[in-house]
Amino acid sequence: MENLQKIDLPIARSLQRELERQRHTLEMIPSENFVSLAVLEALGSVATNKYAEGYPGKRYYGGCEFIDEIETLAIERAKELFGANYINVQPLSGAPANMAAYFGLLEPGDVILGMDLSHGGHLTHGSPVTFMSKIFDFKRYRTTTDGLIDYTGIHDLAVKFKPKMILMGYSAYSREIDFQKIHEIAQEVEAYTMADIAHIAGLIAAGEMNNPCPLFDIVTTTTHKTLRGPRGGMIMCKDQDVAKRINKAVFPGLQGGPHENNIAAKAVAFKEALQPEFKEYIKQVKKNAKVLEQEIKKTDIRICFGTTDNHLLLLDVTPKGISGKQAEQALDKAGITVNKNMIPDDTRSPMDPSGIRIGTPAITTRGMKEDEMKQIAAWIEQALNNYDNDAELEKIRNDVKELTERFPIYPELKY
């Protein structure tokens, strides 16, 4: 990266420090991952120079013949990966993808059923702090005390409010989803079905979780979490008329020129996800999450929703006498990166909630397996027990560093 060094040393230095941080800490935020060098190369490619408003074969700019090849490959590979009929790979990320879904199919004021934020829903699923909540009328459903999605509650809300859309898919929920049940409820009340599979897209692509694509009208996702691609979004549709409305909503409704370097990187990631090695990777992601669960169950930390069926765990750390923020800070000092998170019906604030969210996608990409998970769970327990003891946290940080050196990432890179 000599050019970067020559032109902009401060940025090169910050990038190098970020690279070192990624190398020497345990990245356990469940929505993060490490892309391959091939994905990075496509992201940093000349495709970033090209405007290509429109869709393959129907652009508003000349010179799009090779960009069309790239976008078409991304679409075809994603179709194969998810068994979806129609795909739009242009959304810039998950929130714009969800916005396009709402605007594509609904009118302002229409009712949408979405999961409550503290029960694992996403901000864009109707949190009152979002613009979308001012435009559409979100009714929020919850999980039961057993930690399962309250399907009966959803049915009751659907009959009562006659929503135009029922929305599944979560950011902090660790259980399997019964898409068939929701499909049936939606048919009864004549609502569109939408799934936001951002967190679990990689697990679905690998056949390790239920796939909504054959059943649901519309499926949105990001491409950078368990799917291990570049930061971006995507929308999948079952029927052509819905797909046409979605395409119009994405462009020209919400976005201008698509980021074609990003779309090239998505295509590369989809190709990688179609390989048998990716299925093995996802199986290990799940196994690792289970081992963490088994180890954490031996402590006084409470596992929300009872168990994990996917790549993440939502943990209530208040039995330790600390908040999620304190836990996040202590773990940061110990070299373990997580995020503070609300737990169901949290009585604390989002900036200082009761829980933390941990996940295995990134540490599994490094090659870590069951033995490392046992060690990591022990470090988490030790760090939370010593949240105010900097010397103890520093000791763990040194041990973490040693472990990460046995599982190197990006050895070829230097900024």
For the chain, give the number of residues: 415
Residue 73 or residue 112: which is nearer to ligand DSN going by CB? 112
In the chain the first and final C-alpha atoms are separated, in Å, by: 5
Residue 198 or residue 296: which is nearer to ligand DSN going by CB? 198
Q: Which of 53, 178, 184, 399 is catalytic?
A: 53
Is 225 annotated in the active site?
A: yes
CB of 31 to ligand DSN, least distance (A): 3
Is 222 annotated in the active site?
A: yes
How many chain residues bind ligand DSN (CB under 6 A)?
5
CB of 345 to ligand DSN, least distance (A): 20
The residue number whose beta carbon is nearest to ligand DSN equals 31
User: CB 110: neighbour CB atoms within 10 A?
Assistant: 18
Please state the φ and ψ torsions of residue 359, each to the nearest 5 degrees. -150, 165
Residue 118 or residue 243: which is nearer to ligand DSN going by CB? 118
Instruction: Point out which residues pair with 218 in neighbouring strands.
Output: 194, 237
CB of 225 to ligand DSN, least distance (A): 7
Q: Which of 25, 130, 143, 222 is catalytic?
A: 222
Least Cα distance to 110 among 155, 182, 162, 168 occurs for: 162
Q: CB–CB of 69/84 below 8 Å?
A: no
Q: Does 31 bind ligand DSN (CB under 6 A)?
A: yes
Q: Does 126 bind ligand DSN (CB under 6 A)?
A: no
Residues 163-202: x where in contact with ligand DSN by CB under 6 A, - otherwise, as a string = --------x--------------------------x----
- The full DSSP string for 35-81 is --HHHHHHHTSGGGG----EETTEESSSS-HHHHHHHHHHHHHHHHH
Q: Which of 79, 139, 181, 231 is catalytic?
A: 231
CB of 32 to ligand DSN, least distance (A): 8
Q: Cα 312 vs. chain centroid, distance in angstroms?
A: 11
Instruction: Point out which residues pair with 316 in neighbouring strands.
Output: 302, 355
Is 32 annotated in the active site?
A: no
Report CA torsion sign: 295, 298, 301, 303.
Answer: positive
Least Cα distance to 354 among 363, 344, 362 occurs for: 344
Is 231 annotated in the active site?
A: yes
Residues 68-107: x where in contact with ligand DSN by CB under 6 A, - otherwise, as a string = --------------------------x-------------
Residues 207-236: x where in contact with ligand DSN by CB under 6 A, - otherwise, as a string = ------------------------------
DSSP E strand stretches across 261-338:
302-303, 312-316, 336-337
Q: Which of 71, 110, 116, 196 is catalytic?
A: 196
Is 399 annotated in the active site?
A: no
Is 316 annotated in the active site?
A: no
Q: How far apart are CA 121 and CA 193, in angstroms?
A: 16
Least Cα distance to 121 among 106, 101, 143, 105 occurs for: 143
Residues tagged active-site: 51, 53, 196, 222, 225, 231
Binding site for ligand DSN (CB under 6 A): 31, 94, 122, 171, 198
